[in-house]
Amino acid sequence: MNFALWIYRRLAQAFPHEFKLVYGPEVMQLGEDVVEEIAKRHGAGGLIRLIADIAMRVPLEYLSEMRGDMRYAWRALIKSPGFALVGIISMGLGIGLTTNVYSSKWAVLFRDLPAAANAKKLVMLQQSADGDLAAVSYYYIEQFREQKSLFTGVAAFETGVPFNVTFQGALNSKPQRVFGQLVSPDYFSVLGVQPQVGRVLSPELDKPGDAPVVVISERFWRNRLNSSPDAIGQTLRLNGQIATIVGIAPKDFNGALSINPSELFVPITVPAALAPELANDVLHQRSAKEFLAMMCLAPGITIDSAEAGLDSVTRRLDEEGSSSSARLDKGRHVTLLPAGTSIPIPRKVKPALTGFLVALMGLVITLACMNLANMLIARGANRRKELAIRLAVGASRFRLVRQMMSEGTLLSLLGGIAGFALAYGLGVLNSHFTPPMIVPQESDFYLDWHAGVFAFGLAIVCGVGFSLAPALQATRTDLTPALKEGSALQLPGYRRFGLRNLLMVAQVAASLMLLLLTGFLVMGISKQSNIQTKFDANAMVLFSLDPVRDGSTPEKAQALFEKLPGRLQTTGPVRSIALAAHPPFTSEVERTQLSAEDSPGSSQVLRPVLEETVGAGYFATLSEPVLAGREFAEPDQRRQADGSQTLPAILNESAARGFFGNGNALGKRVRDDKQSYEVVGLVRDLKDVLGFSQPIIYLPLTPRNFARPPAGGITILVRSDAGKDALSAIRNEIALIDPDLNILNMQTLDVYLDRSQSAMRFSVQTYGGMGVFGLVLAAIGLAGITAYSVAQRRKEIAIRTALGASRARVLGLVLREGAALVAAGTVLGFLGAIGLAKIVSALANMFVDALKVGTNDPRLLVGAPLLLAAVAMLACYVPARRSVQIDPLKALREE
């Protein structure tokens, strides 16, 4: 009983101050009065009830006080709408942008593949430091599978595989082009993916020679089969061949490497007629490096030990395969990278990427919070008299601190709501800006719920944290002068290194860092991606054909492409026509490793170059002069790329320089592991749509390409003076040649370039917006601080004016303080931004080009600090002008 009473007393002490003041003694008294009676009547249960009752009441009382605080805070905010609005907008912008970056970049990059139970244990082979994936032959994958101590499973797959799909009962309609993956039957078990309905593929059930089956994605089922309940067992025609749907993949599962979403999963056991990718018996060709290997690490195996183990296996296999023994180098053969995300990120790049995003989000949110803090400090100072009165009439310091904290909390909560709304809006906007890739991107709107929690958490932490310091400072007031002098007294905050000044310097520094970093990116990106064609981009029509997947044989396809230019010449004022495996300036080409062949003095090293396959007259059609040698001609298109003969190749300048230094490249040879090439021509470097110019080797289109066109089909470039009007003429002509041919992606070059760059432009706008945001916040903060400082020094200024100080002197006095803060912040921010850019570009190749351009741009390096300083000084000047308007008589009489 005594123990219960002891606890009761302790709890009664814990009531909020206000409650204790009024009811504390009585609650205590009543407890003491009744405890005996309760023990007698109800026993131990009664005592427990007594304790539970008070234990529950204490937090309830705090909540109710908080509600009161909030109500008061609400009224206070409504009374100063300017302050509230600026606070809410700056918090909203900060939280909204952070949430947006988190959902659109962070979550997409680092989120595990949905529905894949083994996501954390998946690894893939990496080809180069840039994170290109290495393809291997199926034979290698079979050997990898034997390494049971390293991997629990190894699946082979090909991604971005187009299928022309005809639906049951819709034979007359045109087939739809759908992208999927060719997968080994163990693919789903390696990923750890369970079917939503039906079954997934498995080695036991799917054997070569069986009737073709297919697993469809949820998106395919929803959008193309209208969520039909009897989808399982239905048949589809894939590239003209019948396949039965056996299962639906789980929701949100779009295959491995889901950055290119897959809708169909076709086993590699199907006949080559269904998938031209499987022609020429690629499954048994040791040299056919067509497959990606998805490996699931065995328990207890780290990525490093798997890498070492796999390296020795690969080395042995490479040595056995005699064909490429000459090219073997001594270094590592195998690099693994984690593959359980939508886009595999090399381990070396990940820290830079995370660092960059954290820095970006951190800077934005820090800026917003510092702004809030600054405003709260200034406000606290202006309310000094109010606080002093409340302290004088008996409010506890804790009470006042809590009051101001709840104002901060309310402000940032409202900011959090505004921010979430902003993030939502940006997310919707984002989803409209999916880049036009060959494989259609998922444009579903996506807002990570983590981001929402993150935003609100952040909002509250900021609100409480940053109002605590100003609140404590504001209540550390000596009451007498505060009451006597009102708000015009010398403050503890007016010190050289006061909290306020430090915050201000930090804010200027952070906003300059943000401005410069985003500026580097914006400048870099926009400078690079500006493609200048030598002719009117409207006068070129691009379209693609894929006759093999429309049911044609490889021979017929070859014949079609041979006669096509002649037929299209008749469609109007056509200047020239060329074929290519990809649209011009595309960024979606493959990278390959080549070495210079037996030329003394030049390097034998494997060099990564981009491989573009183009037809006869390609450069003439683009009005690009061949700098030396010749470009491809008709006969080149008939050569067989089977390794038996040397093929002609054209290098761009940087590739030629890489292989042969400054010497003449014409007539020299380069080779990959299958094929040797003779350099017959040299062209200048052309930038791709993303603005990168890289070493490129141009190879001729060969019958192999016609038999197995790339994912986007074979692209036909038609330069016609008719411009857009050529579109329908070409369409009619194609229909005349073969009514079954599907015309893909028909558009003018102008439209193509515009669409390809829209995503880029959008990110430029986003980054630019962030930079401007930082600038605006810094200006708001500075203006607030200066206004506050002027208010504080009202009396001092009045005395100076009365003693004859000129207006300019008074203005200078006020501005000098602001200028010192701005200067200090600018220097720090400048150094910080340069340092951060260096770190980021040292770690990640992907930023190097953009950042290099930006960091070398004097306009940016000089302009950004000047712009910030100018805006900052303007923000100081506007409130500082008020100082000269102070009427000395009035100000001095106020006491």
Partner 1 sequence: MTEIDPKGFIPLKTQWFHILLSLAGGEQHGYGIMQEVLNRTTGKVRLWPATLYGSIKRLIEAELIEESDDRPAPELDDARRRYYRLTALGRGVLDAECERLQELVRTIRVKQGMVTE
Q: Which residues contact partner 1 by CB under 8 A?
A: 11-12, 19, 22-23, 25-27, 29-31, 33-34, 41, 49-50, 53-54, 56-58, 60-61, 64
CB 215 within 8 A of CB 246: yes
Interatomic CA distance for residues 537 and 577, integer angstroms: 14
Q: Measured from the CB of residue 465, what is the shortest distance to partner 1 in angstroms?
A: 31
Minimum separation from the CB atom of position 22 to partner 1 (A): 7
Cβ distance to partner 1 smaller for residue 53 or 142: 53
Q: How far is CA 806 from CA 788, 810, 813, 881, in A?
A: 22, 6, 11, 13
User: Residue 727 corresponds to which tokens in the numbers above?
Assistant: 């579109």
- DSSP codes, 318-364: HHHSGGGGGG--SS-S-EEEE-SBSS---TTTHHHHHHHHHHHHHHH
HEC profile of 619-663 = HHHCCCCCCEECCCCHHHHHCCCCCCCCEEEEEEHHHHHHHHCCC
Burial of 108 (0-12, 13-18, 19+ CB in 10 A): middle
Least distance (Å) from partner 1 to the CB of residue 36? Answer: 13
The two structure tokens encoding residue 700: 């001729």
The set of residues, in sequence order, having a beta carbon less than 8 Å from that of 701 and lying 6+ positions away, is 561, 579, 580, 581, 613, 614, 615, 632, 636, 637, 714
Name the residue nearer to partner 1 (CB basis): 63 or 343.
63
- Residues 870, 815: Cα–Cα separation, whole Å: 12
Q: How many residues does the chain have?
A: 895
Closest CA to 783 of 886, 694, 872: 872
Minimum distance of partner 1 from residue 25's CB (angstroms): 6
Structure tokens at 510: 């952070």
Instruction: Please state the closest distance from residue 409 (CB atom) to partner 1, in A.
Output: 23
**Which helix (H) or strand (E) is 522 found in, with range?**
helix 499-528
- C-alpha closest to that of 655 among 685, 691, 626, 699: 685
Give the nearest distance from C-beta 68 to partner 1 in angstroms.
9
Closest among 33, 97, 14, 80 to 777, alpha carbons compared: 97
Nearest CA to 529 out of 689, 768, 753 is that of: 689
Report the nearest approach of partner 1 to the CB of residue 38 (Å). Answer: 8
Please spell the DSSP secondary structure of 713-771, one letter per residue.
-EEEEEEETTGGGHHHHHHHHHHHH-TTPPPEEEEEHHHHHHHHHHHHHHHHHHHHHHH
Give dist(CA 676, CA 5) in Å, integer. Answer: 94
Question: Is 852 exposed, middle or buried (CB count within 10 Å of its CB: 0-12, 13-18, 19+)?
Answer: middle
According to DSSP, residue 247 is labeled E
> Dihedrals φ, ψ of 248, to 5°?
-115, 130
Q: State which residue, 42 or 674, has the beta carbon closest to partner 1.
A: 42
Q: How far is the CB of 468 from partner 1 (least distance, A)?
A: 28
Pick from 726, 683, 384, 378: nearest CA to 538: 726
Q: How far apart are the first and last CA of the chain?
A: 61
Classify 408 as helix, strand or coil.
Answer: helix
CB of residue 8 vs partner 1: minimum separation in angstroms?
8
Q: Which is nearer to partner 1, 56 or 343 (CB)?
A: 56
Task: Report the residue number, 11 or 295, with the smaller CB distance to partner 1.
Answer: 11
Structure tokens at 457: 């958490």
User: Measured between alpha carbons, how far is 704 from 718 in angstroms, rounded to an integer?
Assistant: 23
Give the nearest distance from C-beta 401 to partner 1 in angstroms. Answer: 23
- Cβ-based nearer residue to partner 1, 64 or 732: 64
Q: What is the DSSP letter of 106?
A: I
Between residues 55 and 772, which has the closer beta carbon with respect to partner 1? 55
Query: Which amino acid belongs to residue 590?
Result: E
In the complex with partner 1, which residue's Cβ is closer, 34 or 605? 34
**Closest separation in Å from C-beta 494 to partner 1:** 42
Identify whether the C-beta of residue 68 lies closer than 8 Å to the C-beta of residue 61.
no
The residue (of 56 and 326) whose beta carbon lies closer to partner 1 is 56
> With respect to partner 1, which residue has the nearer C-beta, 22 or 862?
22
Instruction: For partner 1, give the closer residue by CB, 26 or 555.
Output: 26
Beta carbon nearer to partner 1, 60 or 808: 60
Residue (61 or 386) nearer to partner 1, CB: 61
Q: Which ranges of 432-475 would DSSP assign to H, the alpha helix?
A: 449-475
**Cα–Cα distance between 228 and 39 in angstroms, integer?**
68
Q: Which is nearer to partner 1, 56 or 735 (by Cβ)?
A: 56
Q: CB of residue 74 vs partner 1: minimum separation in angstroms?
A: 17
**Which of residues 49 and 286 has its CB atom nearest to partner 1 in the complex?**
49
CB of 29 to partner 1, least distance (A): 6
Rounded least distance, CB 2 to partner 1, Å: 17
Of the pair 56, 453, the CB lying nearest partner 1 is at 56
To the nearest whole angstrom, how small is the minimum distance from the Cβ of residue 18 to partner 1?
Answer: 9
Q: Is the Cβ of residue 20 or residue 397 nearer to partner 1 in the bound state?
A: 20
Give the nearest distance from C-beta 42 to partner 1 in angstroms: 9
Q: How many Å apart are CA 457 and CA 105, to the nearest integer? A: 20
**Shortest Cβ 55–partner 1 spacing (Å):** 8
Q: Give the whole-angstrom CA distance, residue 748 versus residue 719.
A: 10
